[in-house]
Structure 1
Amino acid sequence: MKLELRGITKRFGSFVANDHISLTVEPGEIHALLGENGAGKSTLMNVLYGLYRAEEGDILLDGKEQRFAGPGDAMNAGIGMVHQHFMLIPVFTVAENVMLGHEKTTFGGRLDLASARKTVLDISSRFGFHVDPDALVEDLPVGVQQRVEIIKALSRDAKVLVFDEPTAVLTPQETDELIVIMKQLREAGTSIVFITHKLREVREVADRITIIRLGKVVGEALPTASNKELASLMVGRAVELTVEKDPARVGEAALIVDNLSVVDIHGQIVVNKVSFEVHSGEILAIAGVQGNGQTELTEALLGLQERVTGTITLDGTPLTGLSVRKVLDAGVGFVPEDRQEDGLVAEFTIAENLMLDRSTRAPFVRAGSLQLASLAEFAEKKIVEFDIRAQGITTNVGRLSGGNQQKVVLARELSRDLRLFVAAQPTRGLDVGSIEFVHTRIVATRDAGTPVIVVSTELDEVVALADRIAVMYRGGIVGIVPGDTPREVLGLMMAGASLAEATGDAAVRTA
């Protein structure tokens, strides 16, 4: 099916999110929509899917003009959408989720689950998805949940599939699997709109690329375009794709973690006798495939885990067993891996989110009264300093793009007097411009003498930022190595090989 968007314009008050955008997606084509967070990509696709109504412009499918009053109309016309945040009911089975909204009943009036199961199995077999129709969605890995979303769309005979930032929540391995799936869908004749800001993925899978900046189409490119060419079109300026940093000026050990273990609610050891130090003025990156204990380790450092043994000390002060409030008061800044769930309150304004760590103390609160003038002055300053793109400090954080949400978290955490900064997956779901900004701030924090821990599943990010690298596998640290350790060695260690096994030399140096 051929999709044409002609002159789509969408406004929110005085803000123009889409400014006369036009593009064409040919049958059986993967067309990438590339741009920064907040560029207007998702808004455009929400117009296509019937979630928003454009003030101007036309949507055509195989040359026929369409008018969608809602997503139901779009689905009936052959358009499916796989959202960044999945639209699934966790306590329902796969089959129940697939039939939701399009329920069939048997002659006796019962839900025809057998038909839904068959649909799941047929589509799974066709594309090699290996999805159990009777599995509860809440028990499935994120990558498999995404396949359920794809099955939902295909079960409704979608001829055009929109993937909205589909890799933002995936591991590198799951991302590679998704790219294979997208190519299979293309070979089957499905037209795909691939919304993303990740250059490697675009160049690997797209047939054509349309670049959007500040709500306008600023160019088209083929996947043979270089990363620098695509990045400069996205951001509107030259972007430094490598992290520039001076050699670390390493001081004394500030954070000392000794024999730390964490047991989850099921009694499983998820962090197993981990020991390491972080010095002032250095970045220790913790690398590993998602699910090897990194999340639980950072939560233990912040006081978010209850079943913890071992010791954590910061500048000689014990942190083990302290509440989250007391850990933060001890000078620990924290960027959580899920900014929406754990880092922000979506219904609060930018200004209110910027004071969350200090909501009971001066300068924002005096004698039990909120000092609105002080908060407004602080928030205005941080919006400029951290390049937070919003209409103003009273904008709800939930309305910001992912990159701008992350900047709010960074502005809040880095505006305190820190003795330790912990950043978990700090650039997950961000575009190249926002990644450059976040990396610059992390390096600046290190250069100011603060010890920094960066937890990332992105090996490129680990190698770019780290002065030393601790590699985790199945809850333990298999080795701590210098920041310039070859990627091949790190990859083998992430798969469980010891440092000696990964290098083939028992006499290799360690950090």
Structure 2
Amino acid sequence: MKLELRGITKKFGAFTANDSIDLTVESGQVHSLLGENGAGKSTLMNVLFGLYEPTAGEILADGRPVRFSGPGEAMRAGIGMVHQHFMLIPVFTVAENVALGDEHTRAAGILDLESTRRKIREISDEYGFHVDPDARIEDLPVGVQQRVEIIKALVREARVLILDEPTAVLTPQETDELLDIIRRLRDNGTAVVFISHKLREVKAISTVISVLRRGRLVGTADPDADQSELAALMVGRAVELNTTKSAPKLGEETFTVSDLTVLSPEGVRLVDRVSFGIRQGEILAVAGVQGNGQTELTEAIMGLQKAQGSIRLDGEEILGRTTKQVIRAGVGYVPEDRSTDGLVGSFSVAENLVLNRFDRAPVGNRFQLSPAVIRSLAEQRVAEFDVRTQGVDLPVGTLSGGNQQKVVMARELVDDLKLFIASQPTRGVDVGSIEFLHDRIIRERDSGTPVMIVSTELDEVLDLADRIAVMYHGRIIGIVPGDTSRDDLGLMMAGISPGTEPDTTPDTTPKGVTA
């Protein structure tokens, strides 16, 4: 199938998400859509899949104009889509999920799952999926769940397969396996649209690369294009992709976590007897697939989760303190979700920059604020952190994701920190802002502050870390040097320390957590 998008425009009120985009997708190709978060990639594919009605433009399938009023029509036309957040029902089996929405019945209206099981086995054998039709979705690793989504599309005879950020929750080994599957699909004549902002993967898999920036198609490239060229197309300027840092100048171990355990309301160990320490002038990166206890670990340190064990900072026990008390003890904290936990969108940039000190001099006290001081401080921090805003009085919610993250970082990186924690420090941030934020994190480490980074992005971990702690099912299964190979880290993220068997202890595995 040949799909052509001509002049596709999609507006949401006054905001233009896609602006007159022309794109052609052909059989036997992997057509990658590359762009920073918010560039319009997913919106464009949601238009193609019938989830959004285009404001202007047309779609042609094999030269004929088509218009989809919903995903069902798109699927019947041979288009399948695997969304970044899977559309699976956890308590259903693989076969039940695949059959859902396209049910076949036998006599007396009895659901015919056997024909679905047979199709799943045939596709699984053809592409090496190794998927059990009768397995329950909630019991499957995330990489296998993604294969189920692909099988759903192939059972419906998709000739165009859209994959939206398909490697966001995969280990390196699962990513390599997925890329192999995509190559097989391509070789069998399927057209694959690969949506991503990860340059390494786009170069590895693409036949052709289209780059979107701020809703517009700004260029196309061959897969042999230099990564720096692609990055410059994405953000509109030259970008330094490799983080430069000197060897750490290590001081004392001033932050320690000992036998830390966090239980869910049901009594499941979300963090299981975790212990580690961080020295002054060191970055410890906590790596792992999302959902293996990293969130609960950082929240326990910040007093946001009840926990057992010990957390000591400069010799003082801080476990059991409130979040405000932890911050007062000298901890800077960048939460993993800036929009819900890091910022108040309707507050101004200036107000957000003093959320952690509004009741302390010179910003204010228990009874009143000092607007002049707040504004002066905000203007200084906006300039220092290169926050792109029309003014410090504008709502912070009007800023781009990268600039919002700079606001959070500017607020938390204050003088005389005793510990700096950044969880997913560059999530949803373009490569230009990543460059800046990484530099600021390294500068904080070089000033002698112990730094803890939590990231699911392996490239980020390898760029920043002096040491790497890998979490799996709530445990730290190893702490290794920052120059450990990607392959070894990938094995650890899957629960396998080099030279050991997988950790399959059943009683401490959080329900629903996958590797």
Query: Scaled by the length of structure 2, what TM-score is found?
Result: 0.80
Counterparts of residues 279-358 of structure 1 (less than 5 Å): 279=280, 281-287=281-287, 297-303=297-303, 306=306, 308-309=308-309, 311-324=310-323, 326-337=325-336, 343=341, 349=346, 354=352, 358=356
Is the contact between residue 427 and residue 438 of structure 1 (CA under 8 Å) also seen in structure 2? Answer: yes
Q: Indicate conservation of the 8 Å contact 1:197/1:430, yes or no.
A: no
SS in 2 for 1:108: helix
| 1:80 aligned partner | 80
| 1:205 CA displacement | 0.5
Matched, 1:466 2:465: yes
1:161 aligned partner: 161
For 1:16, what is the secondary structure of its paired residue? strand
Provide closer, same or farther for how the CA distance between residues 305 and 202 of structure 1 changes in structure 2, counting only shifts above 3 A: same
- Shift in alpha-carbon separation, 1:491–1:153, aligned structure 2, 3 A: closer
Change beyond 3 A, Cα 1:493–1:3: closer
Q: Would the aligned equivalents of 1:364 and 1:375 in 2 still touch at CA under 8 Å?
A: yes
Q: How far off is 1:100 after superposition?
A: 2.4
Rounded to whole Å, the distance in 1 between the matches of 2:457 and 2:197 is 15
Q: CA deviation at 1:251?
A: 4.3
Cα distance in 1 between the residues matched to 2:108 and 2:403: 53
Residue 381 of structure 1 deviates from its aligned partner by: 8.5
Larger mean Cα displacement after TM superposition, 210-219 or 297-306: 297-306
Question: Is there any run of 5+ residues in structure 1 with no aligned partner, and where?
Answer: 499-511
* 2:20 alignment partner AA: H
More moved, 58-67 vs 382-391: 382-391
Q: Which amino acid counterpart does residue 12 of structure 2 have in structure 1? A: F
- 1:178 aligned residue: 178
1:75/1:156 contact within 8 Å kept? yes
Task: Report the 3-state secondary structure (helix = DSSP H, G, I; strand = E; otherwise coil) of the residue aligned with 2:277.
Answer: strand
Distance 1:489 1:151, change over 3 A: closer
Query: Which amino acid is 2:422 matched to?
Result: A
The question of whether the paired residues in 2 share the 8 Å contact of 1:6 and 1:59 is answered with: yes
Distance 1:355 1:117 in 2: 56
1:28 matches 2:23? no
Inter-CA distance 116–260: structure 2 relative to 1 (3 Å threshold)? same
Q: Residue 463 of structure 2: SS of its match in structure 1?
A: helix
1:52: Cα distance to partner? 1.8
**For residue 69 of structure 2, what is the aligned residue in structure 1?**
69
- In the TM superposition, residue 438 of structure 1 has moved relative to its aligned partner by 2.7
What's the CA shift string for 1:246-296, capped at 9, x where partnerless?
5545444331334556677666696456342321x4322345677876556
Structure 1 CA distance for aligned equivalents of residues 192 and 43 of structure 2: 17
1:242 match: 242
Amino acid at match of 2:453: V
The letter for the 2-side match of 1:99 is: A
Cα distance in 1, alignment partners of residues 124 and 404 from structure 2: 36
Q: Which moved more, 1:262-271 or 1:92-101?
A: 262-271
Q: CA deviation at 1:119?
A: 3.3
Distance 1:211 1:396 in 2: 26
Distance 1:423 1:170 in 2: 21
Between the aligned partners of 1:59 and 1:103, the Cα distance in structure 2 is 29
Q: Distance in 2 between matches of 1:204 and 1:16?
A: 31
Q: What residue identity is the alignment partner of 1:122?
A: E
> Which residue pairs with 2:219 in the alignment?
219
Where does the alignment leave 5 or more consecutive residues of structure 2 unmatched?
A: 500-515
Distance 1:83 1:288, change over 3 A: closer
The 1:211–1:269 alpha-carbon spacing in structure 2 relative to 1, beyond 3 Å, is: closer
Identity of aligned residues (%): 57
CA distance 1:415–1:26, change in 2 (3 Å):
farther
Q: How far does residue 180 in structure 1 lie from its aligned partner after superposition?
A: 0.9
Distance 1:111 1:393, change over 3 A: farther
Aligned match of 1:502: none
After superposition, the CA RMSD in angstroms is: 4.1
201 and 417 in structure 1: CA distance in 2 versus 1, 3 angstrom threshold: same
Distance 1:171 1:75 in 2: 29
- Greater shift in the superposed pair: 405-414 or 88-97: 405-414
For the residues of structure 1 that align with 2:372 and 2:52, how far apart are their CA atoms? 36
Separation (CA, whole Å) in 1 of partners of 2:418 and 2:208? 47
Structure 2 letter corresponding to 1:441: R
1:36-185 alignment runs, 5 A limit: 36-185=36-185
Residues 182-221 of structure 1 aligned to structure 2 (within 5 Å):
182-221=182-221
Change (3 A) 1:71 1:251: same
Which letter maps to 2:423? A
Cα contact 1:59–1:66 (8 A) shared by 2: yes
Matches within 5 A, 1:358-369: 358=356
Cα deviation, residue 365, structure 1: 9.7
Cα shift at 1:65:
0.7
User: Could you report, residue by residue, the CA deviation over 1:144-177 in whole angstroms, capped at 9, with x for unpaired residues?
Assistant: 1211211222222211111111111222121111
Give 1:336 deviation, angstroms: 4.6
Deviations along 1:443-462, whole A, 9 cap, x unmatched?
23334543211234545433
**Pair 1:102–1:371, CA change in 2 (3 A):** farther
Q: Identify the residue that residue 277 of structure 2 maps to in structure 1.
A: 276
Counting matched residue pairs gives 492
Give yes or no for contact 2:343–2:352 (8 Å, CA) kept in 1: no
Question: Does the C-alpha gap of structure 1 residues 111 and 84 become closer, same or farther in structure 2, counting only changes over 3 Å?
Answer: same
* 8 Å Cα contact 1:300/1:308 also seen in 2: no
AA of the residue aligned to 1:12: F
**Cα distance in 1 between the residues matched to 2:491 and 2:160:** 39
Q: Cα 1:418–1:114, aligned 2, differ >3 Å: closer, same or farther?
A: farther
1:7 corresponds to which residue? 7
Query: 2: distance between equivalents of 1:377 and 1:220?
Result: 44
Separation (CA, whole Å) in 2 of partners of 1:374 and 1:46: 46
Q: Secondary structure at the match of 2:174?
A: helix
